[in-house]
Amino acid sequence: MTKIGIIGIGRLGLCFALNLERVGFHVYGIDSNADYVQSIQDRTFSSNEPHVNYVLGEAENLTVSTDLKTIRDASIELIFLCVPTPSNVDGTFDHSYIDEVCSQLLTLGNPEKETHLVINSTVMPGYCDQLNERMQPHGYTVSYNPEFIAQGSIMADQQSPDQVLIGEANKEAGDRIESVYRAFCQGNPRYSRMSRVEAEITKLAVNCFLTTKIAFANSIGDLTIEHGGNQDAVLQAIGADARIGYNFLRYGFGYGGPCLPRDNRAMRMAAQKVGLNLPLSEATDEANMLHRDFQRETFEQNYSNEETITFSDLSYKRNSDIIEESQRLALAVDLAQKGYNVVLNDRAAVLDQIRAIYQDLFSYEVKEDE
């Protein structure tokens, strides 16, 4: 049975681990959060991600630990890293969690056989080349393999990607990563193999293209409404052009969540670092904010201050509990702060987070789980 290591078994890493385990790999998952590891070990952990609880309950070949030595002792030659890379204030990513894991690996001494580290975490362009320079003298190669998944459908997205993006250290590392995905991916994804920095740019660029498309759709929608037209009629006609397509071209709330906004900001910083100006990312962010202003003004025109406005589904995306940069929530906050009586209708898991931040700014209505 082929063994695979995953360091950082949080939202992304645990789903990846379970997808690999269910097709016959023995997965060794390492996480620094001892209580969390314990809850996975004794199967008391409960996730809102579809399929996770069931597959975890069935998983026989998932070994979890807080101790990196577990991976070394098992002589694992392919290790994925899914640790956090939070955004810095300037929009770049903080790589210190990856650096720390690598420092810990180095304290274990050189591995007996060359070991392939595969970075799943989102990083700045150029980072994996630097990390490879640091790790190569000690028996490691570094590849980059980001995933295009969304909260609320992580396991399914991992199983059916449009493409598997591999920024490979060398052909052998790339072949190994590709064979892992071939074992569990359904359909016929494109295997896009390239250099590390090309893959790092591609990952950010894909998300930036999506933010641009969403912001464009909402801007054109606002314009159409201002002219007394129907925004959906216009956007559907634009999307009918095969060069453009319908995906991500619907009118609605602005983009948010834990990935799109920050990847957009990081792209701008990646350009600045090499002396380029990339105004698209900045313009997209501005358009996203202007759209929220437009929505707020529309509410103000249509509702008097005495009326109650109810917002449902406050997370940034359906089937997710994540409220980070949710534009729907931001709009609700704008209106409540302007004196409207705003009722939030959502599941308790979402409302509890909002209540902890905004307390009695809103009225809260718990919705039953769907």
Ligand X SMILES: NC(=O)c1ccc[n+]([C@@H]2O[C@H](COP(=O)([O-])OP(=O)(O)OC[C@H]3O[C@@H](n4cnc5c(N)ncnc54)[C@H](O)[C@@H]3O)[C@@H](O)[C@H]2O)c1
Which residues of the shown chain bind ligand X in the complex (CB under 6 A)? 7-8, 10-13, 30-33, 36, 82-85, 97, 100-101, 120-122, 147, 149, 151, 154, 259
DSSP codes joined into one string, 99-130: HHHHHHHHHT---SS-EEEEE-S---TTHHHH
Could you tell me the smallest distance in angstroms from the CB atom of residue 340 to ligand X? 32
DSSP codes joined into one string, 259-280: SHHHHHHHHHHHHHHTT---HH
Could you tell me the smallest distance in angstroms from the CB atom of residue 86 to ligand X? 8
Task: Provide the 10 A C-beta neighbour count for residue 177.
Answer: 25
Of 149 and 330, nearer to ligand X (C-beta) is: 149
Contact yes or no for 193/231 (Cβ under 8 A): no
CA distance 43 to 41: 5
Of 36 and 184, nearer to ligand X (C-beta) is: 36
Of 56 and 259, nearer to ligand X (C-beta) is: 259
Closest CA to 64 of 105, 107, 7: 7
Of 30 and 332, nearer to ligand X (C-beta) is: 30
Of 101 and 142, nearer to ligand X (C-beta) is: 101
CA distance 355 to 365: 11
Could you tell me the smallest distance in angstroms from the CB atom of residue 31 to ligand X? 4
Note the residue count of the chain: 370
CA distance 167 to 196: 4
Residue nearest to ligand X (CB): 10
Could you tell me the smallest distance in angstroms from the CB atom of residue 259 to ligand X? 5
Hey, what are 175's tokens? 């072949």
Could you tell me the smallest distance in angstroms from the CB atom of residue 68 to ligand X? 7
Q: What is the DSSP letter of 108?
A: T
Could you tell me the smallest distance in angstroms from the CB atom of residue 238 to ligand X? 28
Of 221 and 256, nearer to ligand X (C-beta) is: 256
